[in-house]
Amino acid sequence: MTPLLCALALLATDAWVLVRDEQRVTMSGDLSNLRTAQKLMKKFGPKFLWFRHGGKEYVVREGEVLKRAEAVTEGNGETDAREAQLDQTDRELEHQQQKLDRHQAALEQWEEAGDHEKLQRAQEDLNRAQEQINREQEKVGKEQEKLGRAEEKRAKEMDRRMSEVIAAALRDGNAKEVK
């Protein structure tokens, strides 16, 4: 591969799928790429990198290239942990929201019973609790947006680094064209 083609390979965002096994893949591209890689797994078995470059499809099964591809696709433990925390907080807030909804239904029954003083106090308590949940949900939403931006940045960096792996595999002859 010429230096110019290697440079172009680094700039291109190739569709790629790193297949570890039937259940674990990391990819960049659309679902048709995943389906292509799944079909190739029947031919090659697990542990390969499939990619499309310059209108052609390639597979890499060489161990060192796969190790580099694995390193590129490793998750960010800190980001993953924060996402898990936010998911848990979101579930807890949803549970609290469901409780408030049940309380609101109970208040509607009190209203029918005519106990207006008790109803007013309970409605005020309910409103305060709802405002607190809304504030917490807003915080979670902002944090999720922040994580989304970080994840987008991480995905772009992953594509850039995978382009380097792909360029090296093409340059070094480790990528075999799929026929």
Please check whether residues 65 and 10 belong to one and the same domain.
yes
Asked if pLDDT for residue 8 goes beyond 50, the answer is: no
pLDDT at residue 77 in the model: 63
What's 12's DSSP letter?
A: S
Please check whether residues 107 and 45 belong to one and the same domain.
no
Please check whether residues 153 and 82 belong to one and the same domain.
yes
Question: What residues are paired with 58 via a beta bridge?
Answer: 51, 177
Residues near 135 by beta carbon (within 8 Å), at least 6 away in sequence = none
What's the angle, vertex CA 31, arms to CA 159 and CA 62, rounded to 5? 55
Q: For a pLDDT cut of 90, what percent of the chain falls above it?
A: 26
What's 27's DSSP letter?
A: E
Please check whether residues 108 and 60 belong to one and the same domain.
no
pLDDT in tens, 117-146: 777 888 888 888 889 889 988 988 888 888
Please check whether residues 14 and 59 belong to one and the same domain.
yes
Domain that holds residue 118: 77-157
How far apart are the C-alpha atoms of 4 and 37, rounded to whole Å? 28
Q: How many domains does the chain have?
A: 2
Please check whether residues 143 and 117 belong to one and the same domain.
yes
Banded model confidence at residue 173, pLDDT cuts 50, 70, 90? very high
- 147: closest CA among 76, 92, 97? 76
Range with the lowest mean pLDDT among 9-13, 69-73, 98-102, 107-111?
A: 9-13
Evaluate whether 170 touches 49 at the Cβ level (below 8 Å). Answer: no
Please check whether residues 68 and 83 belong to one and the same domain.
no
Please check whether residues 23 and 91 belong to one and the same domain.
no
